C-alpha cells in the first residue's frame, strides 16, 4: 500500500505501476468534444492503461464522462483528440464491428425478434463461425450463465435478471479481448444486484477476459474491481485498488464520492499535520501539496469515541447526536473549533462500553494512519 495510489494528471500521463503488467487497453490523452448548440467537453485529456485480465471500473457521478469513455473504447464514437490502443494497435478509427471488444449495454439491447439462443449466436454468426461451433459455443454460454432451460424463449418473456445474463452471454460468446459493461446492474433490484456482482466476478475469473465496468455505485465499484478509476467532469481523478481509493483518496472529490467522510482543517509541516482541533499525526504527503493550511480526511470508522475527558492524544468534543443503526452506532460530534465530525462505532454485545450520551462531553481517538491529506 505504499506507492500503489496513482494519480492521473496531465503531467504524468499514465499511472506509475501499469508498466508492470501487460496493457489491454491504452487510453492515451483522449478528449471528446460534442459540438452542438453548446460545446461539451465530455472527456478532457484522459489517459489510463487498463491491464490484461483486469476487472477495471470507471466510477463517477452521472455526466462525468465514464459512459463516453466506454463508447469511445467500443467504437461508437471517435475521439476528438488522442488515441485508443488495444495492446499496441491503434484502434481509434476502427468501426465497432472490427474491434475485438463487446459491450453489455445498460438496457441490455437484446434483439427482441430473436430467441435467447439466437441472441447469443448473433456475434458468432457475424464472425462467420461454422454452424457446429456456433451451436457449441452457444450451449457453453447458456451453461455459463445458467440459462439452458430458457434458450428458446423470446427475450421479452424473461425477467430482467435473466435478460442481464443473456446480454452477458451474448457479449462473451465471441470471446472478445475486452468486455465493456455499461451500468449493467442498475436496473436490477438489490438482492439480484448482489448476486450478479458475485456472478460477474466469477465470469471474469473463469473467462480471463478484461472487464471494463462503468458504474456510479461506489459500493459496487469497491466490491468488484481490481482497480477503480474515479472520474469527474471529464477527467480521471484517481486510479487505484479499491482499498487505495477508499483509504488514500487523493482529492476531496474522491473522498466525498466514495464512502462517508469527515473533512478537518489542519496545518502541514514536513510530513506531520496538526489538526486545528488538536492532535498531531504522521501523514503521507501527496504530490503537489505544500506545507501550510491543508484539508485532511478522517473516515468515520477510523476513529473511536468515548464519554468523559480526553486523555493523551485524544481530542475533546461534545456529542450532539447518537444514532443506533443495528451493526453500528453513529455519533455526531462538535469539536472545540466548531467543526462537525461523525464517528461510526461498531456495536459490541450489550454490556460493552457505552457510546457517549447526547449532549455529553466526549473524547475522540483517531487511529494512527487514519488521517489523509487531500489535494484540493
Partner 1 sequence: MSKQAETPFPPGALEREAEIADTRNRWLLSLPAIVIIVCAAAGPLLVMVVYSFLTPGDYGNVKWEFSLDGWTNTIVQRDIFDDTLIWADAHLSIFWRSFSLSLITTILTLIIGVPTAWFVATQPPGRREFWLFLVTVPFWTNLLVRTIAVQELIRSEGVINLILLKIGIIDAPIQMMFTDFAIGFGMTYVYLPLMVLPVYAAVDKLDFRLVEAAHDLYAGRWTAFRRVILPLIKPGIIAGSILVFVPCLGAYVTPRVLGGGKNLMFGNLIELQFGAGRNWPLGAALSLMLMTAVMVALIFYVRITSREQADG
| Positions 33 through 52 that interact with partner 1 (CB under 8 A) | none
Smaller CB distance to partner 1: residue 127 or 316?
Answer: 127
- Stretch of residues binding partner 1 (CB under 8 A), selected from 7-15, 142-150, 154-162, 313-321: 154-162
| Positions 48 through 77 that interact with partner 1 (CB under 8 A) | 74-76
Tell me how long the chain is. 376
The nearest distance, CB 5 to partner 1, in angstroms, is 34
Interior/surface letters 22-42, b for 16+ CB within 10 angstroms, e for the rest: ebbbbbbebbbeeeeeeeeeb
Q: Which residues contact 46 (CB under 8 A, 6 or more apart)?
A: 8, 27, 29, 30, 31, 65, 69, 82, 234, 235, 236
Q: Are 370 and 309 in contact (CB under 8 A)?
A: no
- 198 lies in the site for partner 1, by CB under 8 A: no
360: DSSP letter: S
- 32 lies in the site for partner 1, by CB under 8 A: no
- Stretch of residues binding partner 1 (CB under 8 A), selected from 148-156, 208-216, 302-310, 324-332: 148-156
Site string for partner 1, 244-273 (x = CB under 8 A): ------------------------------
User: Quick one: which of 33, 81, 94, 127 contacts partner 1 (CB under 8 A)?
Assistant: 127
The nearest distance, CB 107 to partner 1, in angstroms, is 7
- 7 lies in the site for partner 1, by CB under 8 A: no
Q: Which residues contact 236 (CB under 8 A, 6 or more apart)?
A: 8, 46, 47, 48, 229, 230
Q: Are 236 and 6 in contact (CB under 8 A)?
A: no
| Positions 283 through 342 that interact with partner 1 (CB under 8 A) | none
Smaller CB distance to partner 1: residue 112 or 338?
Answer: 112
Cα(192)–Cα(146) distance, integer angstroms: 15
Burial class (CB in 10 A: 0-12, 13-18, 19+), 296: buried
Pairing label, strands 101-104, 178-182 = parallel
Smaller CB distance to partner 1: residue 24 or 171?
Answer: 171
Cα(49)–Cα(47) distance, integer angstroms: 7
The nearest distance, CB 373 to partner 1, in angstroms, is 43
User: Quick one: which of 2, 38, 156, 350 contacts partner 1 (CB under 8 A)?
Assistant: 156
Smaller CB distance to partner 1: residue 112 or 208?
Answer: 112
Cα(241)–Cα(227) distance, integer angstroms: 4
The nearest distance, CB 80 to partner 1, in angstroms, is 19
| Positions 81 through 120 that interact with partner 1 (CB under 8 A) | 95-98, 101-103, 105, 107, 109-113, 115
Pairing label, strands 303-307, 292-298 = unpaired
Q: Are 229 and 238 in contact (CB under 8 A)?
A: yes
Smaller CB distance to partner 1: residue 110 or 214?
Answer: 110
User: Quick one: which of 65, 79, 123, 234 contacts partner 1 (CB under 8 A)?
Assistant: 123
Cα(312)–Cα(233) distance, integer angstroms: 43
Q: Are 58 and 214 in contact (CB under 8 A)?
A: yes
Binding residues (CB under 8 A) for partner 1: these are 74-76, 95-98, 101-103, 105, 107, 109-113, 115, 122-123, 126-127, 154-157, 170-171, 174
Amino acid at each position: 500500500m505504499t506507492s500503489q495510489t496513482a494519480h492521473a494528471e496531465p503531467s504524468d500521463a499514465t499511472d506509475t505501476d501499469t508498466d508492470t503488467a501487460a496493457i489491454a487497453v491504452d487510453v492515451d490523452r483522449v478528449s471528446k468534444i460534442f459540438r452542438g448548440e453548446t460545446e461539451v467537453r465530455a472527456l478532457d485529456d484522459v489517459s489510463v492503461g487498463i491491464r490484461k485480465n483486469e476487472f477495471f471500473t470507471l466510477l463517477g457521478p452521472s455526466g462525468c464522462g465514464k459512459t463516453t469513455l466506454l463508447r469511445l473504447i467500443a467504437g461508437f464514437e471517435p475521439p476528438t483528440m488522442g488515441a485508443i490502443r488495444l495492446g499496441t494497435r491503434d484502434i481509434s478509427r476502427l468501426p465497432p464491428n472490427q474491434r475485438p471488444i463487446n459491450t453489455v449495454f445498460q438496457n441490455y439491447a437484446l434483439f427482441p425478434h430473436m430467441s435467447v439462443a439466437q441472441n447469443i449466436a448473433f456475434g458468432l454468426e457475424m464472425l462467420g463461425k461454422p454452424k457446429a461451433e456456433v451451436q457449441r459455443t452457444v450451449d457453453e454460454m447458456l451453461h455459463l450463465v445458467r440459462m439452458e432451460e430458457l434458450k428458446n424463449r423470446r427475450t421479452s418473456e424473461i425477467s430482467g435478471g435473466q435478460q442481464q445474463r443473456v446480454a452477458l452471454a451474448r457479449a462473451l460468446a465471441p470471446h472478445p479481448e475486452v468486455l465493456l459493461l455499461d451500468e449493467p446492474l442498475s436496473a436490477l433490484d438489490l438482492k439480484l444486484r448482489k448476486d450478479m456482482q458475485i456472478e460477474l466476478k466469477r465470469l471474469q475469473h473463469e473467462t480471463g477476459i478484461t472487464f471494463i465496468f462503468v458504474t456510479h455505485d461506489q459500493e459496487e465499484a469497491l466490491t468488484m474491481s481490481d482497480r477503480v478509476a474515479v472520474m469527474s467532469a471529464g477527467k480521471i481523478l484517481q486510479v487505484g485498488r479499491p482499498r487505495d481509493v477508499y483509504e488514500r483518496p487523493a482529492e476531496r472529490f474522491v473522498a466525498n464520492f466514495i464512502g462517508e467522510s469527515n473533512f478537518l482543517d489542519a496545518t502541514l509541516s514536513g510530513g506531520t499535520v496538526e489538526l486545528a482541533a488538536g492532535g498531531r499525526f504522521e501523514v503521507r504527503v501527496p504530490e503537489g501539496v505544500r506545507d501550510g493550511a491543508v484539508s485532511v480526511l478522517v473516515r468515520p470508522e477510523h476513529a473511536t469515541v468515548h464519554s468523559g475527558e480526553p486523555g493523551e492524544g485524544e481530542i475533546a468534543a461534545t456529542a450532539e447526536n447518537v444514532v443506533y443503526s443495528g451493526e453500528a452506532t453513529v455519533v455526531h460530534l462538535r469539536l472545540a473549533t466548531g467543526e462537525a465530525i461523525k464517528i461510526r462505532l461498531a456495536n459490541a454485545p450489550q454490556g460493552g462500553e457505552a457510546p457517549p450520551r447526547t449532549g455529553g462531553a466526549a473524547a475522540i481517538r483517531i487511529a494512527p494512519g487514519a488521517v489523509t491529506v487531500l489535494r484540493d
